[in-house]
Structure 1
Amino acid sequence: MVAFSSVDSDSPAAILGTLAAGALLQYGFAAYCSWKERSTYRFVGRVAELYVYPVKSFGGLSVQSAKCTKVGLEYGNVTDRHWTVSTSNGVYLTQRQEPKMALIKTSLHGDMMHLDAPGMRTCRIPIKPKLNKSQLSKVTVKTDTVQSLDCGDDVASWLCRYFQREGLRLHFSEATLEKRDSSKAQKNWSHPALEGDLTAFSDYCSYMVLSNSSLNQLNERLAKPVPILNFRANIIADGCEAFAEDSWSKIQIGEAKLRALDACTRCVLVTVDQFKGEKDKQEEPLATLKKFRLKDPYGPKPAFGINFTLDAPGQINVGDPIFALMR
């Protein structure tokens, strides 16, 4: 008779073996899912332009390369919309209320950012101000009130003089201060932002993607074409059909991975002439967008461009291929 030996199922060796087998299966399943996702991505175009807007509603920076971070595009140690102006009651200010904000140019000079506006001296502010507890403040963006760093009296005086109004302050979202969570945004439709999808002072999320083909289709309907700057997009795509971005659920550019949230609904801000600092009297291009870009479930505001958030960081460049996972 042949004797068979067996391992006690409760022995340390058996338990370790079971755990190892489970970990291997889990790893294998994760690897398969990752491969499956990568295999369904497809080339949809290339990065045509990149824009970073350091100060909300001010002029931005057209750049050739930038880093995708959790809280927005980063270039030259500044991150998209990490500064914002507030009114005397602590509420953020945009081109909706002050179209002249479009005429304020931002430029980077070493560790300083310069603000230039018609008829004004250059105002210089540090790119990385030290966190001084005596300068901690708060600002309200949409329905969120978050902690910020007050940028001081000099730039506040500069802003008050330019806009001819009292009580304006400039706020900075220093790296260690709380950020707004897109999942808490209040909209009239269900949006898919997840807890941990962070942003600083953008209206909703940290990225907006738009294609040149979509802009071209809009401009074909307008008597006076408008530039891409009217729409404050961060990543401009080329080589795809008009409104192809509507069907992208995820995109990958280099190592950076971005996840689509919802359509970017447009308001009166897009009617501001970015070179004159004035609203269009016929409310174009908003009026034309309403004729062909009203979509469920977004109600009376037309959709133009797609809101994205970041899943994996990475450097991106103008000319990089864009791969997309379709909805």
Structure 2
Amino acid sequence: MESVSRTRAVLLLAAGFGAAVGVTWFFVSRRKRRLVKVGEVSQLFVYPVKSCKGTPLKEAKCKAFGLENGNLRDRHWLVVKEDKVCVTGRQEPRLVLMTASCDDTHLTLCAPDMDELHVPLKLSASNETFTCKIHGNTVTGRDCGDQASRWITSFLKSRETYRLVQFEETMKPRNPKNEYETYTENDTVAYPDLSPLLLLSEASVDDLNTRLEKKVSVRNFRPNIVVSGCAPFDEDTWKKIQIGSRVTLKQVMPCPRCIFTTVDPDTGIIDMKEPLTTLRSYRQYEGPHKKVYKSNPLFGQFVRIEKTGVIKVGDPVYQVI
């Protein structure tokens, strides 16, 4: 009987010790990961065809390859030339006038003075797959067919034949590490420039507009997530953030800006000067990585997705400290 009592006492002591360790770990981990609210989500955008008009969303799933809403996925379609090099708003500014929507079976493209184009979401296996180039890096795409090619070529008034390709989930994605050393072997994207998500604050755009004669909007900078309620360029300091109760994003690098920012999102006319010239006057990088960013001003942040989930307009944005 005495040995049984002793065993019971030892078990109770061990259980108590284990509980104490668990409670201690809980509070220590909470202290290590503190959430500080820095703003809230004010706008969400997807750009189904690379360089097309942004589609505003009230909510979206944040998945490995970026935002999606139903079958509407961010930058999963791409315009390419005959040599399979991508075509963007830098070369064809009128791409920003093209809108995209999806139902259960088709991607629908609309553009000024054009009939609607309906592209099957499930393409025939007989459609050719191409190795396409984005910034010199390769990624696969399946051809969307001759009708889509004629539509795109006609809308852009191109003398060269353009084709539309689709990224399928089973295809091998791009590794942006081949373009910027700040990425890792585990970073993957479909057709975005670098990261699956670009984040920007409204305050940063407001600050820029105080310096411009002709005002611009967030649409000039094509973000996926727009944050309000913070100071200008606060997003530069957010190494890690949580949106809502789950989605966690980690900063990779600031976005180096190019002439695409000078395309008017309402007219598709490229200015070639503003707001890029003004951005260069105060958002130029002068640190040890100057050879990486060169003369490109930095505006907005590329982030990687650490935890997936649903993001909604109005969700709180927390800095993880």
Say yes or no: TM over 0.5.
yes
Distance 1:249 1:131, change over 3 A: farther
The letter of the residue matching 2:46 is V
- Which secondary structure state, in structure 1, belongs to the residue aligned with residue 306 of structure 2? strand
Listed as ranges, the matches of 1:122-137 within 5 Å are 122-126=116-120, 128-130=121-123, 132-137=125-130
TM-score normalized by the length of structure 2: 0.87
TM-score normalized by the length of structure 1: 0.85
Listed as ranges, the matches of 1:1-150 within 5 Å are 34-39=29-34, 41-126=35-120, 128-130=121-123, 132-150=125-143
Q: CA deviation at 1:216?
A: 0.2
Higher deviation after alignment, 246-255 or 128-137 = 128-137
Query: Identity over the aligned pairs, expressed in percent?
Result: 36
Out of 284, 305, 308, the position equivalent to 1:310 is: 305
Q: Give the Cα–Cα distance (whole angstroms) in 1 for the partners of residues 213 and 301 of structure 2.
A: 25
Partner of 1:276: 267
Out of 205, 228, 242, the position equivalent to 1:215 is: 205
Distance 1:33 1:265, change over 3 A: farther
Q: Return structure 1 stretches of 4+ with deviation > 4 angstroms.
A: 27-34
* Per-residue Cα deviation, 1:19-38 (whole angstroms, up to 9, x for no partner): xxxxx9xx999867753442
Partner of 1:161: 154
Distance 1:175 1:30, change over 3 A: farther
Q: Give the Cα–Cα distance (whole angstroms) in 2 for the partners of residues 234 and 90 of structure 1.
A: 26
Partner of 1:178: 172
Partner of 1:244: 234
Partner of 1:202: 192
The letter of the residue matching 1:276 is T
Q: CA deviation at 1:270?
A: 0.2
The letter of the residue matching 2:59 is S
Partner of 1:11: none
Listed as ranges, the matches of 1:226-305 within 5 Å are 226-254=216-244, 255-280=246-271, 283-295=273-285, 296=287, 297=289, 298-305=293-300
Give structure 1 stretches of 5+ with no counterpart: 1-23
* Per-residue Cα deviation, 1:76-131 (whole angstroms, up to 9, x for no partner): 222211111001100000010111111111123443221111111111112x3146
Give structure 2 stretches of 5+ with no counterpart: 1-18
Distance 1:84 1:31, change over 3 A: farther
Q: Give the Cα–Cα distance (whole angstroms) in 1 for the partners of residues 43 and 29 of structure 2.
A: 29
- Which secondary structure state, in structure 2, belongs to the residue aligned with residue 210 of structure 1? strand
Superposition CA RMSD, Å: 2.3
**8 Å Cα contact 1:84/1:170 also seen in 2:** yes
Partner of 2:13: none
Distance 1:325 1:280, change over 3 A: same
Out of 314, 317, 322, the position equivalent to 2:317 is: 322
Q: Give the Cα–Cα distance (whole angstroms) in 2 for the partners of residues 147 and 53 of structure 1.
A: 19
**8 Å Cα contact 1:152/1:170 also seen in 2:** yes
Q: Give the Cα–Cα distance (whole angstroms) in 2 for the partners of residues 35 and 217 of structure 1.
A: 35
Q: Give the Cα–Cα distance (whole angstroms) in 1 for the partners of residues 30 and 311 of structure 2.
A: 22
Q: CA deviation at 1:289?
A: 0.3
Q: Give the Cα–Cα distance (whole angstroms) in 1 for the partners of residues 320 and 52 of structure 2.
A: 33
**8 Å Cα contact 1:185/1:204 also seen in 2:** no
**8 Å Cα contact 2:252/2:303 also seen in 1:** yes
